[in-house]
Amino acid sequence: MNSVKIEPRRRKAKQPTSYHHGDLRRQLIAAAERIIVERGVEGFTLREAARRVGVSPAAPSHHFKDAKGLLTEVALLGFRDFAEALAAADRRGGEDPMRRLTEQGTAYVRFALKYPARFQLMFRTDKHDHGNAEFVRVSEESFRILKDAIRAATGTSPDRELSPDGQGLLMAVWSMVHGYCHLAFGGELSKPERGGGGKQAILEQLLPLTLKHLPSPLKK
């Protein structure tokens, strides 16, 4: 009788959880953003980010020095998108300095309301690695766009620094739109006694009115 040799069934090797270096870095950044959306900046831990992407707690150290390093990358991406939104708004304003400021202010608030967790991290300087040169460059870019509109509004040459009055106007406009964002985050603008109409309606009324009455050296 001929015997038939039966080969033992080979088991498929278990695939380890692994990532190419670029993949792991991107996965950790995405996980960090999800965590701050769910738990806020204070609820973020590097260990939780590692757990969510299925790697050991030590694995993130191949890409980020510490939790602050990872959060800085999330904030950097936020500032990059933010600068693009402000630049697009500035272009919509055309040659009219007041319209440029109004468009930028509106874009500023819209971005904050669309991405509240990311926005709040972007301005949490205690959570940033200020030795990250790319982060510093990108975060300054968004401020430069606003500053250029103030230069145009005050008739200041692009290659000159703002006067003290111009600098005061810059801080007044920035403080107004940034403060508006935080009032919106806290629910203050949704209260009936604030006039109703919703956050967007209030913003559309507030920006032109505020800019019109600022005691500033606006170009006539």
Query: What's the distance, Cα to Cα, between the start and end of the chain in Å?
Result: 108
Contact by Cβ (8 Å): 211, 98:
yes
Closest CA to 142 of 99, 91, 98, 81: 81
Residue 170 pLDDT > 60, yes or no?
Answer: yes
pLDDT band, very low/low/confident/very high, at 192 (cuts 50, 70, 90) = low
pLDDT band, very low/low/confident/very high, at 20 (cuts 50, 70, 90) = low
Residue 175 pLDDT > 60, yes or no?
Answer: yes
* Opening angle at CA 57, ends 62 and 21, nearest 5: 30
Percent of the chain with pLDDT over 70: 80
pLDDT at 98: 86
Residue 201 pLDDT > 50, yes or no?
Answer: yes
Residues of each domain in the chain carrying CATH 1.10.357.10: 66-213
Helix axes 133-154, 97-114, angle to 10 degrees: 140
Q: Which residue has the higher pLDDT, 97 or 111?
A: 111
Contact by Cβ (8 Å): 189, 199:
yes
Closest CA to 82 of 49, 36, 46, 113: 113
pLDDT band, very low/low/confident/very high, at 14 (cuts 50, 70, 90) = very low
CATH code, residues 20-64: 1.10.10
Q: Kindly state the average pLDDT of the residues 44-59.
A: 94
Closest CA to 44 of 72, 78, 67, 73: 67
Q: What is the mean pLDDT of the chain?
A: 84
Of 23-32, 81-90, 171-180, the poorest mean pLDDT is in 171-180
Torsion angles phi and psi, residue 127, rounded to 5: -105, 5
Q: Kindly state the average pLDDT of the residues 174-179.
A: 91
Residues of each domain in the chain carrying CATH 1.10.10: 20-64
Rg (CA), the chain: 25
Closest CA to 90 of 50, 146, 163, 162: 146
pLDDT band, very low/low/confident/very high, at 13 (cuts 50, 70, 90) = very low
CATH architecture for the domain at 66-213: Orthogonal Bundle (1.10)
Report d(CA 156, CA 169) in Å as an integer. 13
Contact by Cβ (8 Å): 153, 169:
yes
| Sign of the dihedral defined by the CA atoms of residues 78, 80, 83, 89, in that order | negative
18: left (phi over 0), alpha (psi -120 to 50) or beta: beta
Give the three-state DSSP class for 95. coil
